[in-house]
Amino acid sequence: MRKETAWFVGGAALAAATAAGASVWNQYGSLVRWQEPELPVRPSTRKRRTHMYKIVDDRPLQFDVYYPSGEGPFPIAVYAHGGAFVRGNRGMVTLFHPLLDHFLTKGFAVISIDYRLFEDGVYFPDNIVDVSDALCYLKQHDGLLNLDINKLLVWGDSAGAALVLATALDRSKQFTGELGDDVPPVKGVIALYPPTNFLLFKFIQTWLAHLKFYEGSREAWRELMVKCSPVTHLYDDAPPILLLHGKKDPIVPFGQALHFVEHASEVGANVQLISFPNGTHSLASFFQSDNPVKETQLMARIDRFIDDAMT
């Protein structure tokens, strides 16, 4: 090959790689910038208390408890927020006030947790470990918090939904943290549009985007993604799981839900899926008038799931 041709080919390859990298960051940037549309706010009075469940590198990790009326001890619904693993906080639970208030009306204490976000030195499975530690803390302090740890549900949206799924399905104790491996059993999981298999995203592009946070090889990264994907941990007597996913989701493809349901069928796990033909990546889109499942019907389905899971 002539030197000029070699330089041209090398330059073209470099330009293509640069363009691909820019495309990756543009796609990842759109994911990071996604905002959960707010639903119309309904008047409500919520009692909230904030607690710290651990400190990591001088940073406190906290959770908020929203208490229902009554004396307790209360069944528990633990929420983990979305945000592509890089943003968000426990206050986002109020964006899902139809579910938040529904749990409170049913007599559940709703607990919204913070976990570590991706940054230098923080990556998978640190965030899953944080969810595990939060559940351990609740078990260790259930009397003080006036909670019934034997009646525990977990729920979340998007990234948070993936984290609670991975934690609830971790029967081999792979994600235990500093608070021990005595994670309380989860009665059921409600997951809104979760990524369930990280390798079903465009593999090379996802890996390139995460180089900002992960410095290992592509092969080691792939092994880590398999380990942290909820679908990897499904088993026959897993806690019942309810998925809510829009068929027009531009962030987490609907195929992620179908893949999870299909694998659940193969292993005999109890996974239910409510799909929304015009739903995107938000609870607000599920309540649109052009979706066949209306809010009252959805809440009734969720009610049946909760009641069945708690028996």
Looking at residue 122, its pLDDT comes to: 95
The angle at the Cα of 127, spanning 125 to 128, to the nearest 5 degrees, equals 65
Instruction: Identify the residue whose tokens are 């964006």.
Output: 95
Looking at residue 37, its pLDDT comes to: 63
Strand partners, 271: 241
From first to last of the 311 residues of the chain, give the pLDDT tens digit: 444 444 444 444 444 444 444 555 455 555 555 666 666 555 556 789 999 999 999 999 999 999 999 998 999 999 999 999 999 999 999 999 999 999 999 999 999 999 999 998 999 999 999 999 999 999 999 999 999 999 999 999 999 999 999 999 999 999 999 999 999 999 999 999 999 999 988 777 788 888 889 988 999 999 999 999 999 999 999 999 999 999 999 999 999 999 999 999 999 999 999 999 999 999 999 988 788 888 889 999 999 999 999 98
28: its two tokens:
């990842």
Where b means 16+ CB within 10 Å and e means fewer, 97-124 reads bbbbbbbbebebbbbbbbbbbbeeebbb
Separation of first and last alpha carbons in the chain: 73
Looking at residue 266, its pLDDT comes to: 98
Looking at residue 26, its pLDDT comes to: 54
Q: How far apart are CA 65 and CA 53, in angstroms?
A: 12
- What does the longest C-alpha to C-alpha distance in the chain come to? 83
Looking at residue 288, its pLDDT comes to: 84
Strand partners, 275: 245
Q: Are 123 and 157 in contact (CB under 8 A)?
A: no
Looking at residue 6, its pLDDT comes to: 44
CA 36 to chain centre: 14
